[in-house]
């Protein structure tokens, strides 16, 4: 009898997993092959060879690039090299990104930067927030940017049980941020299971030294997060659901959903054009190729621009798309003064003239 129960349970579990597997495959298999959309004037950014997961540009044209993200099961081209933060000045003609020095005492050997965000305080101090995965754990590092020295002064490591797997952050104060947890579990195996079972347990957290709480939940896989220039709305990219959620931000930092925009692709990092409020979205047209890397058939790149997202009919246009022959696995597109920077999960980075 016990054996019968066990066999039945196993059978049911396998049937359930089989169905879930098909569902997962469909979610990863976002869409068709991309139709190429070229920008006439693009070149690779020197200094980025193994991924530039996230890019954040200051109002003065200094761009921070997070490089060298590693994750189990993910392709990476420079396994021995720790991650870092590069900087380039978009006001200059040179397209070389230089690594910022980091203050002593910070463990650079295990630095594994993911999403980044900047905050400029009233006294013009620039803080850089970095989602970090040292030894595949999850922390948020807060640095002060010291422009004269080209360096980052490490101020604080944030760890919290509500931040088990931070993917991206948007800073809203010197020690205050919203963060997306792309997975509910911090254990690697449970993470796979979670994606597999489509548990919808990923969320958005508000963190401040005074308190930490969940402000939005129920996402398939919350990933990129950013804020409108007027600071009234928070945008969350739900990668596997192929959606962007527009959330209203309240005085008490709670978020309520205003609308959901469905796109035919896996949405990753979101950046905002401060002058127009347009969203620039790094996308993965084919998630399977991104995760199961084949150099002969590499993952494509795609950058979308979304105008008037709050209107009834937002305009979604493909600004750049390439089948992987030039740029593989784009994660972010970020604009400044007619220039577009495109970062990737583990490949190179492009600078294009719009």
Catalytic residues: 114
**Residue whose Cβ sits closest to ligand NAG:** 115
The one among 141, 168, 175, 194 contacting ligand NAG by CB under 6 A: 168
Q: Considering only residues 83, 115, 285, 287, which one is a binding residue for Ca ion as defined by CB under 5 A?
A: 115
User: What minimum distance in Å lies between the beta carbon of 6 and ligand NAG?
Assistant: 32
Nearest-approach distance from CB 277 to ligand NAG, in angstroms: 19
209-215, long-range: CB within 8 Å, 24+ apart, which pairs?
Answer: 209/175, 209/176, 212/160, 212/162, 212/163, 213/162, 214/162, 215/178, 215/253, 215/254, 215/255
Should residue 159 be labelled a site residue for ligand NAG when binding is judged by CB under 6 A? no
With CB under 5 A as the rule, give the number of residues binding Ca ion: 8
Q: Do the beta carbons of residue 340 and residue 352 sit within 8 Å?
A: yes
**118 near Ca ion, judged by CB under 5 A:** no
Question: Of 68, 83, 224, 333, which lies in the binding site for ligand NAG, with binding defined by CB under 6 A?
Answer: 224
What is the helix, strand, coil percentage profile of the chain, to 5?
15, 45, 40
Residues 6+ positions from 217 with CB-CB distance below 8 Å: 201, 202, 203, 204
| Binding partner at 114 among ligand NAG, Ca ion, none, C-beta below 5 to 8 Å by kind | ligand NAG
175 labeled part of a ligand binding site: no
- CB of residue 12 to Ca ion, shortest distance in Å: 35
Q: How do 41-44 and 233-238 pair as beta strands? A: unpaired
**Pairing outcome for strands 315-322 and 301-307:** antiparallel
Antiparallel, parallel or unpaired: β 98-99 and 151-158: unpaired
Where helices occur in 188-316 by DSSP H, the ranges are 188-197, 287-291
> Which residue number is nearest to Ca ion in terms of Cβ?
223
Q: Is 38 annotated as a binding residue?
A: no
Helix (H/G/I), strand (E/B), else coil: 50: coil
* DSSP character string of 145-182: EETTTTEEEEEEEE--TT-SSEEEEEEEETTEEEEEES
Judged by beta carbon distances under 5 to 8 A according to partner kind, the member of Ca ion, ligand NAG, none in contact with residue 36 is ligand NAG
In whole angstroms, the minimum distance from the beta carbon of 171 to ligand NAG comes to 12
Q: Count how many Cα atoms sit within 13 Å of the Cα of residue 117 in the half-sphere of its side chain.
A: 26
Site membership for ligand NAG, residue 285 (CB under 6 A): no
Residue 92 interaction partner, one of Ca ion, ligand NAG, none, beta carbon < 5-8 Å per kind? none
Query: Is 91 among the annotated ligand-binding positions?
Result: no
Compare residues 168 and 194 and give the one whose CB is closer to Ca ion.
168
Find the binding residues for Ca ion in span 216-235 (CB under 5 A): 223-224
**What track of x and - describes contact with ligand NAG for positions 286 through 325 (by CB under 6 A)?**
-----------x-------------------------xxx
Q: Which of 7, 32, 229, 292 binds ligand NAG (CB under 6 A)?
A: 32
The answer to whether residues 348 and 45 touch, using CB atoms and an 8 Å cutoff, is yes
Among 112, 203, 269, 302, binds Ca ion (CB under 5 A): 269
Report which of 340, 88, 115, 141 is spatially closest to residue 223, judged by C-alpha positions. 115
* Binding site per annotation, positions: 53-54, 116, 168, 223, 268-269
């Amino acid at each position: 009898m016990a054996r019968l129960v066990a066999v039945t349970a196993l059978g049911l579990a396998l049937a359930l997993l089989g169905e879930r597997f098909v569902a997962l495959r469909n979610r990863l298999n976002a869409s068709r092959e991309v139709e190429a959309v070229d920008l006439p004037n693009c070149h690779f950014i020197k200094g980025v060879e193994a991924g530039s997961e996230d890019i954040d540009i200051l109002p003065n044209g200094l761009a921070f690039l997070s490089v060298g993200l590693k994750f189990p099961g993910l392709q990476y081209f420079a396994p021995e090299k720790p991650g870092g933060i590069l900087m380039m000045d978009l006001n200059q003609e040179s397209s070389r990104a230089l690594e910022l020095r980091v203050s002593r005492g910070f463990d650079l050997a295990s630095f594994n930067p993911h999403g980044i965000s900047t905050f400029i305080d009233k006294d013009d101090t620039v803080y850089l927030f970095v989602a970090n995965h040292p030894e595949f754990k999850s922390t948020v590092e807060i640095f002060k940017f010291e422009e004269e020295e080209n360096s980052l002064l490490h101020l604080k490591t944030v760890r919290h049980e509500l931040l088990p797997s931070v993917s991206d952050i948007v800073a809203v104060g010197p020690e205050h941020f919203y963060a997306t947890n792309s997975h509910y579990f911090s254990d690697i195996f449970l993470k796979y299971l979670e994606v597999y079972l489509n548990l919808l347990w990923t969320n958005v957290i508000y963190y401040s030294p005074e308190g930490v709480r969940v402000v939005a939940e129920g996402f398939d896989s919350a990933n990129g997060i950013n804020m409108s220039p007027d600071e009234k709305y928070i945008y969350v990219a739900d990668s596997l659901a192929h959606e962007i959620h527009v959330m209203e931000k309240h005085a008490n930092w709670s978020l309520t959903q205003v609308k959901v925009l469905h796109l035919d692709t896996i949405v990753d990092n979101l950046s905002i054009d401060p002058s127009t409020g347009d969203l620039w979205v790094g996308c993965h047209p084919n998630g399977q190729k991104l995760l199961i890397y084949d150099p002969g058939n590499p993952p494509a790149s795609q950058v979308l621009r979304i105008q008037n997202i709050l209107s009834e009919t937002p305009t979604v246009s493909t600004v750049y798309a390439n089948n992987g022959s030039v740029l593989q696995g784009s994660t972010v597109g970020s604009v400044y003064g007619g220039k577009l920077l495109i970062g990737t999960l583990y490949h190179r980075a492009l600078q294009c003239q719009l």
